[in-house]
Structure 1
């Protein structure tokens, strides 16, 4: 396959950022929690894990920890597999699709979700997502096995989820090659100028202050952060390499679309995310990370 032109890579990166943000919306609004509450799933992290892990079936804590990568094992084990005793994976899948549909229609407006542009975007994203490879991409594969939703805006969200998980699976492979654990990758990201504050990230992922300090010490021993926890030049270079390699492994779906169609999809989805952000889809500390005009994007 021919190398992707520089401009196409830029649009691919922007499209990947936009679909990641679109995918995240039901996890930041109340819609999914409202649909899982009748089953007894009320803890915010349990809501997230039930929604995102449901395509895997009734997976246990070790599997979810391995595939999510960034969460503390004990934090996951407190919720999985207990959540499957409250809500089945099939019920959670139905809940998250209903939540995505309701959230997007409320935030974007009925005219937008029923528009020809939405239908076209769903087709483009679906085509890109369907062309990804399965080996080595377990979360992508689990989502790819699901039926495509009928409504275009929900189908777009489903395709965005597939694309997000495809990129995430590849990212974890690159972290493994760099011999970085999930928490170490978070420490590096938080120490960079592109990352969020430790105070936001660490509790969201279930890591203790002691876990974080131990990871920082290991990274210091490798010369990746300073004694004060500041990213060194070597650490910044490794982070840049990881981002580059993640993008390289993520190029296939956008190569299939080609530059002009990838650009079209990117601009449309960025517009949706901009509208959603303006409608307060994301909490204030995260809003700048999901605004379509910034290069800083939180990884769920």
Structure 2
């Protein structure tokens, strides 16, 4: 039987692993690799690389699983992207980008270290307890082979854990009766989300869509006139994260308290290195 972990231990571990996972999508190496197979639009590159594990799916499947993108944006690129390059080509390009990105951000010594191999083993051990049912993005990625090189095995495991948590998080958002844009707007208003300008540009929403979502949140008593969350809104976002933690507890309880602490320590150090190396664009965060 798994032993419960200290509060938020799993979330903290996920957060540092997710930096290593998500940094690849912002890297110049990713842009170059995806452009080389014909995906030179940022949205096309992202949709192709992340959806490829599901096969040549349609726009509806991507909108449903990615959750916070405007379907009109998705449909502008899917299914056309699969006529440009196959899902297998997209996955191979993503793997090459992950390899080059981690080597650049973390350095050759870290990539080749015993600690990297240790972290990969720990993360893969945690992922053993992930479950496929009702978790489509995780389930698709779980069918992919585990890379042999430790830094790529770690990235693969971080991807599994990220998609497992993300699938559960989407279920919680739906249960909270937040639509795609209301979820984004309320998260940003909590002070933990990405900058509105960045989200509008990359998720395909217009300013009037954002304003309408704010109005819907106000009508539910979740947002105040100036755009900050009300007490009820803060409470809802807190419950959403706690319920996401609950649905995502199995991998970290399976790994155990000592393993989670060690994986958090290792990944946390590399996360700081990656952030110091400029892993993410400056305009990603903030209120602008």
> Normalising by structure 1, what TM-score?
0.92
How far apart are residue 197 of structure 1 and its match? Answer: 2.7
Q: Distance in 1 between matches of 2:283 and 2:267?
A: 22
How far apart are residue 11 of structure 1 and its match? Answer: 2.5
Count of residue pairs brought into register by the alignment: 286
Give the 5 Å matches for 1:97-116: 97-116=95-114
Assess if the C-alpha contact under 8 Å between 1:130 and 1:144 holds in 2: no
Assess if the C-alpha contact under 8 Å between 2:195 and 2:284 holds in 1: no
Q: Distance in 1 between matches of 2:71 and 2:201?
A: 13
Residues 6-45 of structure 1: CA distance to partner in whole angstroms, max 9, x if unpaired?
2xx3321211101111110110111122112122210111
Residues 159-210 of structure 1: CA distance to partner in whole angstroms, max 9, x if unpaired?
0000000000000000111111111001101112223332222222111112
Assess if the C-alpha contact under 8 Å between 1:12 and 1:263 holds in 2: no
Q: Secondary structure at the match of 1:133?
A: coil
Aligned residue among 155, 158, 164 for 1:157 = 155
With over 3 angstroms needed to count, the CA separation of the structure-2 counterparts of 1:3 and 1:120, relative to structure 1, is closer
Aligned residue among 247, 266, 275 for 1:277 = 275
Aligned residue among 266, 270, 273 for 1:268 = 266
Unaligned 5+ runs, structure 1: 289-300
Q: Distance in 2 between matches of 1:157 and 1:165?
A: 12
Q: Distance in 1 between matches of 2:231 and 2:200?
A: 23
Moved more, 272-281 or 195-204: 195-204
Q: Distance in 1 between matches of 2:267 and 2:284?
A: 18
Q: Distance in 2 between matches of 1:82 and 1:130?
A: 35
Q: Secondary structure at the match of 1:136?
A: coil
> 1:186 maps to which residue?
184
> 1:4 maps to which residue?
4
Q: Distance in 2 between matches of 1:263 and 1:208?
A: 42
Moved more, 224-233 or 265-274: 224-233
Moved more, 121-130 or 276-285: 276-285
Q: Distance in 1 between matches of 2:13 and 2:171?
A: 21
> 1:225 maps to which residue?
223
Aligned residue among 20, 23, 34 for 1:22 = 20
**Is 1:238 the equivalent of 2:229?**
no
> 1:140 maps to which residue?
138
Q: Distance in 1 between matches of 2:187 and 2:159?
A: 22
How far apart are residue 281 of structure 1 and its match? Answer: 1.5
Moved more, 258-267 or 106-115: 106-115
Q: Secondary structure at the match of 1:20?
A: helix
Q: Secondary structure at the match of 1:227?
A: coil
Q: Secondary structure at the match of 1:180?
A: coil
Q: Distance in 1 between matches of 2:41 and 2:56?
A: 18
Aligned residue among 204, 209, 212 for 1:211 = 209
Across the aligned residues of Structure 1 and Structure 2, the Cα RMSD in angstroms comes to: 1.4
> 1:292 maps to which residue?
none
